[in-house]
Amino acid sequence: MSSFESRQQVDIPFAVPFTHRLRFTTDCLGQDDQVLLSLLEPSGEGPARVQFWVDENLAQPGLCGNGEDLLERIAAFARRHPERITQAGNVQLVPGGEVIKNDIHVLERMLKVFNHHNLDRRSYVVVIGGGAVLDAVGFAAAIAHRGIRLVRLPTTTLGQADSGIGVKNGVNLFRKKNWLGAFAVPWGVVNDETLLSTLSDRDFLCGFSEAVKVSLLKDPAMFAELCRVAPRIQQRDMRVASPMIQASATWHLKHITQGGDPFEMLEARPLDFGHWSAHKLEPMTDFQLRHGEAVAIGLAIDTVYSSLCFGFPRRDASAVLRCLTSLGFELDHPLLTETDVLFQGLEEFRQHLGGRLTLTMLHDIGTPFEVHEVDRERMRRAIAHVRAFARAAGENLAVGH
Ligand SMILES: NC(=O)c1ccc[n+]([C@@H]2O[C@H](COP(=O)([O-])OP(=O)(O)OC[C@H]3O[C@@H](n4cnc5c(N)ncnc54)[C@H](O)[C@@H]3O)[C@@H](O)[C@H]2O)c1
Ligand SMILES: [Zn+2]
């Protein structure tokens, strides 16, 4: 019998080396521009071809870290280095916030622009914006030619502390978060502190729920520090806020590169602690709640649930709720009464990964573990507890405590 006729099974595991390049700067379009430049390798046939994509909320004249116009700063950056980079077309503006992820037509427009300017796999898409813009532009870059090099410059605390570091890109479809998406490792990420200065207070806060999340999963000392400096973070004191963003970014980076499951092939999504309810609350509120705000509520719920069911110390659960509150998060929302709708989020969370439902819960701060079912009655109690805590905290504030 020839080998062609014999039945064969050939399974060969293989690994692909990736490098995740994360940089921290304070002025990457000005004094520190070598940081960005060094990521944009020339193509071999001349300068690197770069297309800039900008969150339109950053593109208003004067709205840039140091009072200058961001579009002008990009143009000046390109003019200073003609031997190193050439711009593929004008800077492209896209809608900021969740709206870019909710409108599938924006995706088509982005692909048309890539095609019109003949971007190829050695071209660079440099995207400057909030997490939503990074997700959507990143997804378009991931599917065009099966992957154009993507350099992210996150401009929100959430982008710098979490999403900008990730390997996930995507948009919302069927009113479900990130239903359409792709894993793709960015070519580089530049966290520039100056870009955060124009954020609204509301959006400035949002990244810190993800910092609390990662500290609860990985780093008790970081959680203690967050509790200590929370009121100063709320005041936007960058001397304490920056190190926390950096610590969060570094933990996310470590998890992705060393955690053994960057593309979520296994059962669990530990970085999505507190997210089953957060991802449901966002569409339930018609995206009135920001991701970071919904995550703060989701963390509070799953922390209290961990305490009710798995012996997570009660005093630590109180510390988590206090920490989130003193950062400035509102932990109550009227739609939390609609627990039946909220619980649909469990099934949606399961479906996103397939297989059994797998949620991360906490035994202790820094000791996460996985569960595969939820006691809905106790989860309702956890939600009620969080709401009662939030109302009491609100009343204390109202009487000036
Ligand atoms: N890919 C991932 O791994 C991952 C992880 C976490 C969250 N996310 C996603 O990130 C999104 C949320 O991102 P976000 O919290 O950054 O909010 P966002 O992108 O919605 O931005 C919030 C608002 O701030 C504006 N903005 C952004 N930067 C600004 C600046 N410097 N100055 C003034 N305005 C600015 C935006 O235009 C928007 O209006 C959600 O869609 C969430 O699902 C993705
Ligand atoms: Zn998140």
pLDDT value of residue 176: 85
Write out residues with Cβ below 6 Å of ligand 1. Answer: 55, 57-58, 96-98, 101, 129-133, 135, 155-156, 158-159, 162-163, 166, 168, 177, 195-196, 198-199, 203, 206, 290-292
Give the number of the atom of ligand 1 that is nearest the alpha carbon of residue 169.
Answer: 1
Q: Which ligand is nearest to the CA of 97?
A: 1
Rounded to an integer, what distance in angstroms lies between the CA atom of residue 76 and that of residue 328?
38
Model-level pTM?
Answer: 0.93
Whether the CB-CB separation of 358 and 268 falls below 8 Å is answered with yes
Give the number of the atom of ligand 1 that is nearest the alpha carbon of residue 210.
Answer: 6
| Residue 161 CA: distances (Å) to CA of 14, 100, 103, 243, 274 | 31, 21, 26, 10, 16
Rounded to an integer, what distance in angstroms lies between the CA atom of residue 169 and that of residue 152?
12
Q: 292 burial class (0-12, 13-18, 19+ CB within 10 angstroms)?
A: buried
Enumerate the β-bridge partners of residue 249: none
pLDDT value of residue 401: 42
What's the distance, Cα to Cα, between the start and end of the chain in Å?
86
Rounded to an integer, what distance in angstroms lies between the CA atom of residue 284 and that of residue 7?
52
Give the number of the atom of ligand 1 that is nearest the alpha carbon of residue 101.
Answer: 41
Rounded to an integer, what distance in angstroms lies between the CA atom of residue 139 and that of residue 273?
23
Q: Which ligand is nearest to the CA of 213?
A: 2
Rounded to an integer, what distance in angstroms lies between the CA atom of residue 130 and that of residue 158?
8
For residue 131 the two structure tokens come to 């997490």
pLDDT value of residue 3: 56
pLDDT value of residue 261: 86
pLDDT value of residue 49: 97
Whether the CB-CB separation of 233 and 208 falls below 8 Å is answered with yes
Q: Which ligand is nearest to the CA of 181?
A: 1
Whether the CB-CB separation of 223 and 216 falls below 8 Å is answered with yes
Enumerate the β-bridge partners of residue 25: 192
What single-letter amino acid sits at 269?
Answer: R
The Å distance, Cα 247 to ligand 2 centre, comes to 16
Rounded to an integer, what distance in angstroms lies between the CA atom of residue 393 and that of residue 398?
9
Q: Which ligand is nearest to the CA of 160?
A: 1
The Å distance, Cα 168 to ligand 1 centre, comes to 14
The Å distance, Cα 220 to ligand 2 centre, comes to 19
The Å distance, Cα 159 to ligand 1 centre, comes to 6
Q: What are the mean pLDDT values of the chain's consecutive 10-residue runs (401 residues total)? A: 71 94 95 96 89 94 62 96 96 96 96 98 97 98 98 98 96 91 98 95 97 98 98 97 98 93 84 96 94 98 98 97 97 97 95 90 97 97 97 71 42
Nearest-CA residue for ligand 1 atom 23 is 97
Nearest-CA residue for ligand 1 atom 43 is 291
The Å distance, Cα 5 to ligand 1 centre, comes to 56
Q: Which of 20, 22, 55 to mutate to test the pocket of ligand 1 (most atoms within 8 A of CB)?
A: 55
